[in-house]
């Protein structure tokens, strides 16, 4: 896809689909507790794959690239009594570790075998009634492993007590899960390194219908913050709540502090307006630990590179096991837009800015966030996005929504 050099139109309003993170959690909980009624479900490919998997009675479930589905379904099928499931995915999925979650489930008595490489999908899962109790798990690999256990906890006779070992990553996502559980009536607590989810055996009293309207996705909103920061024009987004369950709502504070984009909430309309300050003084350097919101890192880096603001982003250890090695991919593609960087296993920092390539072609590495985070650079220079269909994973309408915000720019200097 070629994105021509464009100007950001002012005061456009975009309606963003429901949060993928919340949707995926609610789908598992709905499968476990049938009294939950969901509205504004995400239209992302990941959510559709998870929904299809939960409705599929086949012995083999293929989640393709959907890492969240792989992790959440591993625990879900482990407690499906009498059902044996082969859980598989794409070639990349077979390279993404799942051993910490499998080890934790085995502590509870789960029967799970690796069918190819030890520690990686595909898995053969024989469902049993698990009683629950205490389990230990590494907390520094993926918060989704921990969330996967929390989601099934209330269906276990003794609930679940999760002992977190090592540095805890993506804390807001764990807090989100606990808040969702409380919203549907499941008691839980988190003290120090211990998370507890109490058992919740459905009775007539607690089987009343529980409606749950999913707020829109703050990760998806981040690309419009980048547009506003680079294009210095206002954009409005729906449907967003002033008080969010999502850790990625931190984008509001980040873009205000570093890029001068103010967020005005209009609660009655569930709308936010992104308003760039006209005389904002940019920082000389951005120093930021993004352990709590690593999915925003690519967007922040591209925005900073576009505005030629030096940056040093840490806390990114989980990016190497995402859809691609995002740190390596970021380094490669930032170079094309004129930003030289260095990386470690958990950080990336700019070292210099140079002229961007004359013909920029952004490789996406089958990673939806690579495509969307680099798209706003078209406000400065024409570029092409390879395999643009990868946005289906989280935001199928992204290109149409982006087009609503842009108008092709006539470069008068070249014509003179």
Our measurement of the distance from residue 103's CA atom to the centroid of its chain's CA atoms, rounded to an integer in Å, reads: 24
Our measurement of the distance from residue 299's CA atom to the centroid of its chain's CA atoms, rounded to an integer in Å, reads: 12
C-alpha torsion angle, residues 3, 217, 145, 331 (rounded to 10): 30
Beta strand 271-276 pairing with 235-238: antiparallel
Instruction: Report how far residue 232's alpha carbon sits from residue 258's, in angstroms, rounded to the nearest whole number.
Output: 14
CB 109 within 8 A of CB 130: yes
The question of whether 295 is a catalytic residue gets the answer yes
Tell me whether residue 201 is exposed, middle or buried, using C-beta atoms within 10 angstroms of its C-beta: 0 to 12, 13 to 18, 19 or more.
Answer: exposed
Other CB atoms within a 10 A radius of the CB of residue 275 amount to 17
Instruction: Report how far residue 256's alpha carbon sits from residue 74's, in angstroms, rounded to the nearest whole number.
Output: 39
Instruction: Report how far residue 169's alpha carbon sits from residue 243's, in angstroms, rounded to the nearest whole number.
Output: 22
| Set 46, 248, 295, 367: catalytic member | 295
Of 60, 61, 37, nearest to 49 by C-alpha is 61
Q: Which residues are catalytic?
A: 295
């Amino acid at each position: 896809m070629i994105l021509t050099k464009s100007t950001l139109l002012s005061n456009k309003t975009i309606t963003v689909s429901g949060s993928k993170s919340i949707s995926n959690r609610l789908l598992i909980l709905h499968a476990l507790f049938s009294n939950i009624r969901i509205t504004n479900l995400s239209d992302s490919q990941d959510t559709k794959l998870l929904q299809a998997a939960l409705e599929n009675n086949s012995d083999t479930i293929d989640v393709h690239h959907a890492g969240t589905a792989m992790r959440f379904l591993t625990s879900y099928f482990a407690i499906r009594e009498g059902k044996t499931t082969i859980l598989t995915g794409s070639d990349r999925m077979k390279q993404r570790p799942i051993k910490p979650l499998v080890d934790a489930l085995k502590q509870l008595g789960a029967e799970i075998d690796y069918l190819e490489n030890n520690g990686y999908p595909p898995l053969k899962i024989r469902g049993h009634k698990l009683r629950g109790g205490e389990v230990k798990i590494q907390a520094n690999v993926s918060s989704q492993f921990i969330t996967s256990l929390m989601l099934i906890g209330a269906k276990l006779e003794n609930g679940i007590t999760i002992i977190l070992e090592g540095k805890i990553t993506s804390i807001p996502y764990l807090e989100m899960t606990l808040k969702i559980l409380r919203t549907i009536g499941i008691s839980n607590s988190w003290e120090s390194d211990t998370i507890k989810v109490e058992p919740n055996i459905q009775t007539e009293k607690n089987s009343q219908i529980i409606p749950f309207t999913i707020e829109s996705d703050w990760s998806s909103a981040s690309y419009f913050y980048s547009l506003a920061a680079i294009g210095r024009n206002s954009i409005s987004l729906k449907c967003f709540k002033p008080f969010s369950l999502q850790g990625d709502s931190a984008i509001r504070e980040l873009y205000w502090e570093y890029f001068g984009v103010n967020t005005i909430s209009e609660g009655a309309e569930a709308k936010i307006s992104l308003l760039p300050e006209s005389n904002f003084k940019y920082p000389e350097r951005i120093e930021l630990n993004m352990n709590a919101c690593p999915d925003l890192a690519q967007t922040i880096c591209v925005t900073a590179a576009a505005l030629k603001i030096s940056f040093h982003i840490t806390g990114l250890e989980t990016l190497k096991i995402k859809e691609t090695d995002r740190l390596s991919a970021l380094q490669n593609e930032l170079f094309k837009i004129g930003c030289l960087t260095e990386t470690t296993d958990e950080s990336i920092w700019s070292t210099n800015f140079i002229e961007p390539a004359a013909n920029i072609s952004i490789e996406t590495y089958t990673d939806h966030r690579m495509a969307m985070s680099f798209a706003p650079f078209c406000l400065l220079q024409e570029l092409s996005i390879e395999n643009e269909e990868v946005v289906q994973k989280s935001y199928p309408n992204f290109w149409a929504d982006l087009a609503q915000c842009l108008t092709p720019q006539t470069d008068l200097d070249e014509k003179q």
